Structure 1
């Protein structure tokens, strides 16, 4: 009998038997952190320095939050970009602006002690703050005590995500003042995330050769109101569009809005748009566009394993409470609820505008109605496919006169739990006595795809700290959570620096 050919991998020009390579990889994955050793030496000094300097750190974050940076209007964007550039330069880095000078991407780099390199993604823009019922002005960054939560900074961007960004640079400044930054860092901080990250894909493709790294990271306040961490390994994609229905050949006023009594004779563009929107989903908001969900990928075996673990700690009541909800939109529980919420595409109506909405009364047959809609989708679906099927549905159901304007879009991202940077972040949580919930994908979106699917890097996001009410009145971050977040950042960076570089292997043999 001929000898069985042993499979091997070619690594850096050397052929290594697969058994030996797998053994080495297994040892890397089984790295554990000695908590006693971790809290000694440099990290202990950094933690102490964060504690002693924390009043200054908090005030620096509050000052940063007072600076407006509303990307929808451009208010304060350039000034905030300059502050971010100064943050990078303050820790010994080089930084520059790229792209649209009114909404520049701030990018730069800092040399660390190890040969590992992380790309740090972030955002410095925020949503408008025109909601009523703020307990203090949204750009005052006042401190309030919230019931059952504690002392909090109330401000637009406190949670999403300028509080996080300033906390990150507080951590890095402390590292520089106490020792050194342990890992090479490349910063990509944008000012258009809230309006669709319009320049970041071009930036990444243009600078591909200058963005060679081992992984990418995005920090966040990831603890819920119970203190439990949600760590997401993927994000959905999104298409954001305007739908516009005007009077004309399909009925309705052709030139201008008319008296409401004329609706006895002419159809209403407002009703027509309502009917078009109602054709998209059923009563539980399941998408009923023909063929729309054909390419929806179900949870993988690894995802199901994560969900089985997650269901033991997932508290539906707490989850609803944090969303200010009373009941879920579908009658499901446990793992069925998680699968439905995380893997089904959704269509959301962000706003609907038509006719008269001022004080008093005014009878009107409006000439135009508009709706702002976003569609979120997971793996295997792509933005082009989503738009094509959406438009085909309107055409086939007789709503071909409704104009579709795609405002922005980007695709999904997914990272394997076995990636070393994911394991480093898990180890950072555990070294600080926190066991995170691992969510295989999230329903929110960010342009992680530029790192995972263009640069081919694993992407991880997370951090200690708690905040809430993003995009709403009384957005907040907890004061104590900011301190915990800063300690988490330095812990993670030290673990990432100590982690061995991943090995790029190509099969050699049958």
Structure 2
């Protein structure tokens, strides 16, 4: 059973490069033989993306790490506890990969290194579209346009507007011919295991006698900060139940327990128990109980 005490924020952005005054075909694809003396929007986009990130995964946009918060002693303790429980091979099997990033010694990163990475931003190419992509046959063309969807995950204490500006400045400096559209993003959220609500939630789940993994930060993003900042309501992610394949074909969750982790029915029962427990203790306001 996995309990997550934080989630990353996100900024989603789109990059278009179209042929025009700077070079490249203006309005249509042309024969690839002309690439000897005509520039390519597709290569321009590939070059731009390659400048954004090192092969290690480190983001190369200047200033991106300036406000990243150091890992607290509280979180370091949770990392140490999680390392003892986490089965790395089972984790890789669950996310369908054979190997994680390599470290500076070209060895696969350790469990501790992997969890520490959750406290750092990450940059992802979500899609690239340009030209002829049929797996069968061939078509030799110099393309007039290229497009990419990308996202960057934010961690404490990164600020949405600050990162937006850094992305804009980077694109303007490295590819002024590109068109950039930054969609609305949102910030990260982080809870302490000492929060009274969080402590009761964890105690309630431990009463099920199931194995619990407490993650100080999660891999994904969600606008949980709204509950925390605007309403003073602490939020955590996780509980009884089993599901997998997030954002992949055949994403699923069990209705009934099949692995010992429980299903949606068990989850709903655990929520009822949690609400009962909270009712016995009192209500929460600004992270404190009021009797």
SS at match of 2:13: strand
Q: Per the alignment, do residues 353 and 241 of structure 1 end up closer, same or farther by CA in structure 2, a change over 3 Å counting?
A: same
Structure 2 residue aligned with 1:351: 127
CA contact (8 A) 1:420 1:499 kept: no
Matched residue, 2:268: 486
Partner-residue secondary structure (3-state), 1:446: coil
Q: 1:452 aligns with which of 228, 238, 248?
A: 228
Indicate the residue corresponding to 1:310 in structure 2: 82
Between the aligned partners of 1:489 and 1:379, the Cα distance in structure 2 is: 29
Distance 2:60 2:94 in 1: 29
- TM-score with structure 1 setting the length: 0.52
Query: What is the CA-CA distance between 1:504 and the residue it aligns to?
Result: 6.3
State the Cα deviation string for residues 286-335 of structure 1 (Å, max 9, x = none): 11122211111121111111111111101111111111000101332132
Looking at structure 2, the residues matched to 297 and 455 of structure 1 have their Cα atoms a distance apart, in angstroms, of 24
- Contact 1:416–1:458 (CA under 8 A) maintained in structure 2: no
CA displacement at 1:435 relative to structure 2: 4.3
Once residues 327 and 360 of structure 1 are traced to their aligned partners in structure 2, the CA distance between those partners, rounded to angstroms, is 33
Question: Which residue of the partner structure matches residue 385 of structure 1?
Answer: 162
CA distance in 1, matches of 2:168, 2:81: 39
Contact 1:424/1:499 (8 A) holds in 2: no
How far apart, CA to CA, are the structure 1 residues paired with 2:52 and 2:253? 37
| CA RMSD in angstroms, aligned pairs only | 1.9
Q: Deviations over 1:397-436 (max 9, x none)?
A: 3x12211111231111111212222112112212211242
- Equivalent residues in 2 for 1:72-111, closer than 5 Å: none
Please report how far the alpha carbon of residue 266 of structure 1 lies from its aligned counterpart in structure 2 after TM superposition. Answer: 0.7
| Contact 2:124–2:150, Cα closer than 8 Å, also in 1 | yes
Q: Which of 4, 18, 22 does residue 250 from structure 1 map onto?
A: 22
Q: What does 1:324-473 correspond to in 2, within 5 Å?
A: 324-331=96-103, 332-340=109-117, 342-358=118-134, 359-397=136-174, 399-473=175-249
Q: Residue 502 of structure 1: CA displacement?
A: 4.3
Separation of aligned partners in 1, 2:152 and 2:23: 28
State the SS of the aligned residue for 2:182.
strand
Which residue in the other structure is 1:62 paired with? none
Report the counterpart of residue 182 of structure 1 in structure 2.
Answer: none
Kindly state the Cα deviation for residue 464 of structure 1 after the two structures are TM-superposed. 0.5
| Matching of residue 268 in structure 1 with residue 268 in structure 2 | no
Matched residue, 1:300: 72
In structure 2, what is the Cα distance between the partners aligned to 1:338 and 1:463? 20
Q: Compared with structure 1, are the counterparts of its residues 504 and 384 closer, same or farther at alpha carbon in structure 2 (3 Å cutoff)?
A: closer
Mapping of residues 26-65 of structure 1, within 5 Å: none
Change (3 A) 1:277 1:417: same
Give the paired residue count: 276
Q: Which runs of 5+ in 2 are unaligned?
A: 104-108, 258-262
1:15-46 per-position Cα deviation (integer Å, ceiling 9, x unaligned): xxxxxxxxxxxxxxxxxxxxxxxxxxxxxxxx
- Secondary structure at the aligned position of 1:279 is classed as helix
Change (3 A) 1:258 1:296: same
